[in-house]
Structure 1
Amino acid sequence: MLKKKQYREIWEQYCGFLDLDLPGYMKIQNRLLLEQIGLWADSQLGRSILKGKQPKTVEEFRRMVPLTTYEDYADVLLLKRDDMLPEKPLIWIQTTWEGGRHPVKLAPYTRGMLDTFRDNVVACELLCTSRAKGQFKTRPHDKILYGLAPLPYATGLLPVTLSEAVSIDFLPPVEEAVDMTFSQRNKAGFKLAMKQGLDYFFGLGSVAYAVSMSLGSMSSGGGLKSLLKCSPKMAVKILRGKYRCRREGRALMPKDLFELKGFMVAGTDNRCYRDDLEELWGVRPMELFAGTEPSLVGTETWTRNGIYFFPDTCFYEFIPEQDMMKSLSDPSFQPRTYLMDQVVPGEKYELAVTVFKGGAFARYRVGDVYRCAGLESREDGARIPRFEYVDRIPTIIDIGGFTRISEQGIKTVVELSGLPVTDWTARKEFSKENRPYMHLYVEMSPDSLVSSAVTAEILREQLSTYFRYIDQDYRDLKKILGIDPLQVTILRCGAFAACRERYGEPPRMNPSPHEMENLLSSQGFCERRGS
């Protein structure tokens, strides 16, 4: 179709969902869910969760199937019991379950799921180059920088499925990149880009920033000299870029060397890096959202002003924030869910999905929170709701899309360290540079503070060692991004007890600003009592 210049047909085939109105969108959702109900309810996995019930309609399905988490599937999926699944998978995708407690989660992908993933990846590729409806710059043999984790991780599906639809050249080639370390892929990719040019960049926002900043080290000293085996066109760009940088008194940036058609980022905390990435590359990154269990669920458009969920990936249900918080503190509570045609602008929701095309997961709590940004958009003419990604659910601290730090994980680290920590709470916070980190507020035993020179820095160093020991993803934060995301503050002895007495139990994970203010103010209260 590209060769025949059938650009309108390409847009309608892959991006036509943006022209749907809400009734048309829900018609697709309901039709595909009814197909999935027939497959899922007849499988051994479905029967084990339904416990004798047999839903026939969308309403019966939502009433009979409880909201689920990975624990409901672990015994089947971790053993790859494909005989119990709705359809036989072609591939199994892997991700971290919970650092320090569970090693991995596995998710099965059927042929139908891979076909949907492929088509929606193409939609993302078109949209990231678009500046208006119906316009895109995708052409055969465009070049994309390989900033992704390979299979068995979900991002490794992108080159596999995308190559089925369009000829695109990864730098370095996928068959070589899978055997390289992150640093090796980074250097090899830039070296090839200097020779062949570059059209796309795709990666986690945090990783894309680390890769982008590494160009500065390559451009200093002998680093750039090793890249000078390049085309005359690129050599001219290098000379012009260096001249411009000297004139403006700044370091060489990727935008001085490359003119990207499109820039895509995935993962959490992208908002922390988007402005810097736009400055470095001269192109505003487009966010897309995917996960190991739900697959590729949504993307922004040329407006970069909110995420639209693909109607053919999953059936979406939205748990209102109030119900989400209650269910996190009381696991027996079953939250309400709303559908796409029931969401309210400005409200936050935890996402629950039922994966189409023979997927294993039904009414599955993904662990991501979104805010409804609007029910339509004049900017891009859409008539379906759009969303902004907020973060993981409050019981998980995710830094840069790498970590899934839970209460149990922190408890394990504190116990292994042997440090005299008597109480603690942890929050995800942001530096003045808008970079995420984990702030651990601890209370120490009075004897330890008297008998030893325990400082916050000593605690941070020792606890960081144990976080890296139990959590591979935490180690990668240092290895790949070059950061140690932990900060520690020691509270006065008795602060937690005073807080409980005055305000109630402070949450272990991500207390709200108000709850944190109560805890910090309790230090003065316990001091007045002579604690």
Structure 2
Amino acid sequence: MSLKEKLKKHQYNEIWQQYCGFLDLSMEGYMKIQRRLMEEQIQLWSNCGLGQSILKGKHPKNLEEFRKMVPLTEYEDYADILLTKQPDMLPGNPVIWIQTTWEGGKHPIKVAPYTRSMLDTYRNNVMACLILSTSREKGSFDVASTDKFLYALAPLPYATGLFPLALGEEIDIEFLPAIKDAVNMSFSERNKLGFKMAMQKDLGFFFGLGSVAYAVSLSLSSLTSSGGGIKLSSLLKCKPQMIIRLLKAKYRCKKEQRQLLPKDLFHLKGFMVAGTDNLCYKDDLEELWGIRPMELFAGTEPSMMGTETWTRKGMYFFPDNAFYEFITEEDMLKNHADPSYIPPTYLMDEVRPGEKYELVFTILKGGAFARYRCGDMYRCVGLENREDETRIPRFEYVDRVPWIIDIAGFTRISENGIQNVIGLSKLPITNWVATKEYNEQNRPYLHMYVELERDALLNNAMSATILKDLLSTYFKYIDQDYRDLKKILGMDPLQVTILTCGTFETYEKRTGKKLYHMSPSHYDLMGLLEVQASMNRVR
């Protein structure tokens, strides 16, 4: 029976238990589900061609043997089979392939196969997210088949394109604009039409990347500002309640001498955000919409993995989507410095509050990825929560691993990508480090600290502004996602600081260590800048 049918019969308790009952699990019950599903996946994965390409003839019989025999994996371990889409090599029959960017300048795309069982799990977990986004306490929710959903999602073959399809199997929520129309529109066109339709039909839900949701929210405000208002012909098509709401909102905003905000027009039931850097946007989004967005964890390889609840105080991982392992931050950094070091992993019932972890997962129900390092880091914020009566760990998203810089959920900037940009541009850069920093508005950006050839400085041939413009051109050339930062979000994500010649060499002599190119620690970066300052004082 679908959610729509259960809503008609007012089976609210059954609905909550079916989709959100995992929140009542004890740690023992949670791990029982994890181990049972993992035992099934071990047999499927170990006996398929993909599994044997990694296991090299080994056949683990249980979870303990699986964790010993299967190395920690990355996408390179699967690329030959997955990119050529060989279904006979996989542990389950794929019914759809999801796509995303792999690494700009080196690998254009990566793809992930989804089995029917994976899609069923995805659908159920999406419904849990929808229900929880409207919840204000345990067991309460407000979902109806007549609800309207503002479209702010990337279409298939991207992972967010699955979201409306999964909802459609359970409930007749209407997307504004309709998916078949939205996929052929530009970002700006979708916003304008979506807002126009929302004014005519009202709006109940909103879901998107945090950064994209913020850009959409600002555009909605601008559409109702002076000079960009609603035409009379469109207004006449609106529901009477929307016309009254608009007139009241206009009067209130004029009285308070402020711009009209989305919350003045729409009273969202549920607001969901995914992706990275959501923490940078949540407060502003709450101010714009009058409701705190609920954060999800979803992606191409991990599918729909976790969600917050009504408390908005950490995400819980769904027990039936993947089997979870965790690498401590200390062991992750040790492994990065020494690739021969094999970091130990910890299970869900072994994590500790306050500890930061790199996430490792094995996708269940015929999934392709085993002991997969997705490059995301989480902090465990608690093992139980009295507010929502949970007894399982909850997490907050930290960021990508240090050697990948992600800006606003759009980019995956790697050392290789930056080296590629420098090589293509033929700029006279001799040394560099790159780090993710935040401006006064708490917005993320990529900050490169570079050292140039001495002749370039002596001839005054290169300023930080010129260098930034040139590097930006090449970043956009090799990376579509980087290009979209400006196109969709209006964001210029790069800042460049030119250091004095010899700064890196002097730093290495003084400290006896070489800086990582990507995301050096705050302590090391401050040390580098102190060396720069001392060299300038001497001069």
Category of TM-score, reference length = shorter chain: over 0.9
Q: Is the 8 A contact 1:498 1:526 kept in 2?
A: no
1:521 maps to a residue whose letter is E
Cα drift, residue 526 of structure 1: 4.2
Deviations 1:52-93 (A, max 9, x none): 111111101101100000000000000001110001100000
2:512 aligned with 1:507, yes or no?
Answer: no
Q: Is the 8 A contact 1:265 1:286 kept in 2?
A: yes
2:265 aligned with 1:254, yes or no?
Answer: no
Pairs within 5 Å for 1:511-530: 511-527=520-536
Q: Which moved more, 1:175-184 or 1:186-195?
A: 175-184
2:418 maps to a residue whose letter is I
**Tell me, what secondary structure is at the counterpart of 1:264?**
strand
2:283 maps to a residue whose letter is D
Q: Is the 8 A contact 2:191 2:220 kept in 1?
A: no
Deviations 1:243-264 (A, max 9, x none): 1111111101000100000000
1:85 maps to a residue whose letter is L
Pairs within 5 Å for 1:15-30: 15-30=20-35
Q: Is the 8 A contact 1:498 1:525 kept in 2?
A: no
2:160 alignment counterpart: 155
Q: Is the 8 A contact 2:225 2:259 kept in 1?
A: no
Pairs within 5 Å for 1:128-277: 128-226=133-231, 227-228=234-235, 229-277=237-285
**Tell me, what secondary structure is at the counterpart of 2:94?**
coil
Pairs within 5 Å for 1:15-164: 15-164=20-169
Cα drift, residue 527 of structure 1: 4.9
**Tell me, what secondary structure is at the counterpart of 1:454?**
coil
Cα drift, residue 524 of structure 1: 3.9
Cα drift, residue 434 of structure 1: 0.4
Q: How many angstroms apart in 2 are the aligned matches of 1:150 and 1:333? A: 40
2:395 aligned with 1:416, yes or no?
Answer: no
Q: Give the TM-score taking structure 2 as reference length.
A: 0.97
Q: Give the TM-score taking structure 1 as reference length.
A: 0.98
1:355 alignment counterpart: 363
2:331 maps to a residue whose letter is D
Deviations 1:389-414 (A, max 9, x none): 00000000100100000001111111
**Tell me, what secondary structure is at the counterpart of 1:212?**
helix
Q: How many angstroms apart in 1 are the aligned matches of 2:341 and 2:538? A: 39
**Tell me, what secondary structure is at the counterpart of 2:386?**
coil
1:99 maps to a residue whose letter is G
Q: Per the alignment, do residues 432 and 527 of structure 1 end up closer, same or farther by CA in structure 2, a change over 3 Å counting?
A: closer
Cα drift, residue 217 of structure 1: 2.1
Q: Is the 8 A contact 1:150 1:156 kept in 2?
A: yes
**Tell me, what secondary structure is at the counterpart of 2:169?**
helix
1:523 maps to a residue whose letter is Q
2:309 aligned with 1:304, yes or no?
Answer: no
**Tell me, what secondary structure is at the counterpart of 1:104?**
strand
2:423 maps to a residue whose letter is E
Q: Is the 8 A contact 1:254 1:281 kept in 2?
A: yes
**Tell me, what secondary structure is at the counterpart of 1:506?**
coil
**Tell me, what secondary structure is at the counterpart of 1:384?**
coil
2:20 aligned with 1:12, yes or no?
Answer: no
**Tell me, what secondary structure is at the counterpart of 2:259?**
coil
Q: How many angstroms apart in 1 are the aligned matches of 2:133 and 2:531? A: 49
Q: How many angstroms apart in 1 are the aligned matches of 2:293 and 2:536? A: 50
Q: How many angstroms apart in 1 are the aligned matches of 2:510 and 2:22? A: 53
Deviations 1:258-308 (A, max 9, x none): 000000000000000000000000000000001100111100000000000
Q: How many angstroms apart in 2 are the aligned matches of 1:337 and 1:157? A: 31
Q: Alignment partner for residue 454 of structure 1, among 426, 446, 462?
A: 462
Q: Is the 8 A contact 2:225 2:260 kept in 1?
A: no
Q: How many angstroms apart in 1 are the aligned matches of 2:196 and 2:534? A: 60
Q: Is the 8 A contact 1:92 1:106 kept in 2?
A: yes
Q: How many angstroms apart in 1 are the aligned matches of 2:281 and 2:380? A: 22
2:405 aligned with 1:397, yes or no?
Answer: yes
Cα drift, residue 452 of structure 1: 2.6
How many residues in Structure 1 have an aligned counterpart in Structure 2? 530
Q: How many angstroms apart in 2 are the aligned matches of 1:454 and 1:362? A: 47
1:161 maps to a residue whose letter is A
Q: How many angstroms apart in 1 are the aligned matches of 2:467 and 2:221? A: 33
Structure 1 alignment gaps of length 5 or more: none
1:17 maps to a residue whose letter is F
Q: Is the 8 A contact 1:171 1:192 kept in 2?
A: yes
**Tell me, what secondary structure is at the counterpart of 1:225?**
coil
State the superposition RMSD in angstroms: 1.1
Q: How many angstroms apart in 2 are the aligned matches of 1:302 and 1:254? A: 21
1:281 alignment counterpart: 289
Pairs within 5 Å for 1:315-394: 315-394=323-402
